[in-house]
Amino acid sequence: MHSSLTSTVCSTPTNDSVEKVVKNDAIRYQRKGYGLISAFLLFFSFFFFMPKFIKYIWPFFLENMSPAVMFFTIAISLHSGVFLLSNLGMYAIYMMKLPFFERYRILDKPWPWESSPEIWRSVLKKTLKTLAICHFIIVPLLTLGEIKAGLKMRLDLESFPDLKEIVGQILFFMLSEDFFFYWGHRLLHHPKLYPYIHKIHHEYNITVSLCAEYAHPFEFLVANIVIRLKFIEIVNLFYIVTYKFWTKDLGK
């Protein structure tokens, strides 16, 4: 990883760079043995077994927490908890370098902590600081604001969604979020905004798990949460479990 940032001007990529992107992306779809089977098993187990498990433990939350405390606990613990556990798992994968996982790498570049340890430590410190602001300040404050405004999603056990409802709502989330993400992301690439906000997200020139949510706090709040996700909560039909399945708290 280099310490220099990307250009302050969000320019149109050259034909050569576009060809590289297409070539690298094509690697994702090459056959890689039984890894795809494992991915499908995880996918189906998530939709079939996870809802049953959550429905089983749901009465504990309803009996021991108020709706506000329940919502806050689920929103904060799952968002930060899953992000932390995922990155710990990825750290183990990075360190072990098992052939099963290494074959899924798109680029042949060494990891930044291998090529430039000193620069990596500096970048890691900045990344963790930014992530801490997003996870432990922005998300809690926004969640408290939602509670103050009045919870709109269902929490009762009686209307716990079945598989059909979960799949249908997630399909809705998929289409609507992609629409809003496209326009929000396109706006952030505007030359007058890119150098001050979205450029931070592009400081990494090789993908590592920590950079998944690494963004300017304003982008994290407005583009990643409010524009893309929070509009869903306006509709008073969705169950909190389904919503958390789709968002980065459980499923994404």
Domain containing 63: what range?
36-246
In a domain, 31, yes or no: no
Ordered DSSP codes for 161-200: --HHHHHHHHHHHHHHHHHHHHHHHHHHTSTTTTTTTGGG
Q: What is the pLDDT of residue 196?
A: 93
- What's the token pair of residue 64? 């021991």
In angstroms, the CA 214 to CA 107 distance is 20
Listed residue (155, 165, 166, 138) closest to 225, CA to CA: 138
In a domain, 204, yes or no: yes
pLDDT tens digits along 113-162: 999 999 999 999 999 999 999 999 998 998 898 888 777 778 888 888 88
21 dihedral zone (left: phi>0; alpha: psi -120 to 50; beta): alpha
In a domain, 198, yes or no: yes
223 pLDDT higher than 90: no
In a domain, 97, yes or no: yes
In a domain, 129, yes or no: yes
32 pLDDT higher than 70: no
Per the structure, the count of domains in the chain is: 1
Is this structure's pTM higher than 0.85? Answer: no
Going by pLDDT thresholds of 50, 70 and 90, the confidence category of residue 64 is: very high
In angstroms, the CA 136 to CA 87 distance is 17
Q: What is the pLDDT of residue 249?
A: 44
Q: Taking the CB of residue 177, how many other CB atoms lie within 10 A of it? A: 19
In a domain, 187, yes or no: yes
In a domain, 2, yes or no: no
Mean pLDDT of the chain: 80
Q: What is the pLDDT of residue 229?
A: 59
In a domain, 88, yes or no: yes
In angstroms, the CA 74 to CA 46 distance is 18
Q: What is the pLDDT of residue 65?
A: 93
